[in-house]
Amino acid sequence: MAISIKNMKLKGKTWKFGDNINTDLIIPARYMTAYEAAELGKHCMEDADPEFSKKVQPGDVIIAGENFGCGSSREHAVLALKGAGISAIIAKSFARIFFRNAINTGLPIIESPEAAAAIKEGAEIVIDLTAGQIEDRSENQHFTIKEFPEFLTEIVENGGLLRWATKEKKEPIK
């Protein structure tokens, strides 16, 4: 499930969530005998909104508050979001294991307190990862994405950690 984000624009509608959206909420443990994105996606955010996965259109974006993805290390959470059709997450801040899981599996995540606060649910937005810009077409507002550490960008651009690892034959960091 690797996608290169080089020269990529993401366009979709937004779904807004609050603070501390934890992994038990994103994908309850009762579904964790599955580990394919398509299956997990059917149950994404089920305890918050049983219809969520049906409502999401491929390409949609989640806008969230602080500490998104806190709780368990389960990578199933990222897979559930991808399986539901989410193409990116903009949050005020991310919990660390979720953050690394998103990087490692090539799901674009953007930490932007301003964008996360200002963008409303149901907005049409365009994220230009190369230019580092978020455009909210519904409210006509723009946000600049804070520069990402080069090492992490490399992993995401190469479609995830193992792709990057096997593609790069040299030691990328000392």
Q: Which residue ranges make up the site for other proteins (CB under 8 A)?
A: 20, 22, 24-25, 28-30, 32-35, 47, 66-67, 70-76, 78-79, 93, 95-97, 100-101, 104-105, 149, 151, 160-163, 165-166, 171-174
Q: Measured from the CB atom, is 100 or 123 closer to other proteins?
A: 100
Tokens 């049983």 belong to residue:
50
Minimum gap (Å) between residue 75 Cβ and other proteins = 4
Please state the closest distance from residue 14 (CB atom) to other proteins, in A: 22
Task: Confirm if 79 and 87 have CB atoms less than 8 A apart.
Answer: no
The distance of closest approach from Cβ of residue 73 to other proteins in the complex, given in angstroms and rounded to an integer, is 4
According to DSSP, the residues that pair with 13 across neighbouring strands are: 124
Q: In Å, what is the CA distance from 38 to each residue of 7, 45, 111, 134, 151?
A: 26, 14, 26, 27, 29
- The nearest distance, CB 126 to other proteins, in angstroms, is 28
Q: Which amino acid is at 31?
A: Y
Q: How many residues are given for the chain?
A: 174
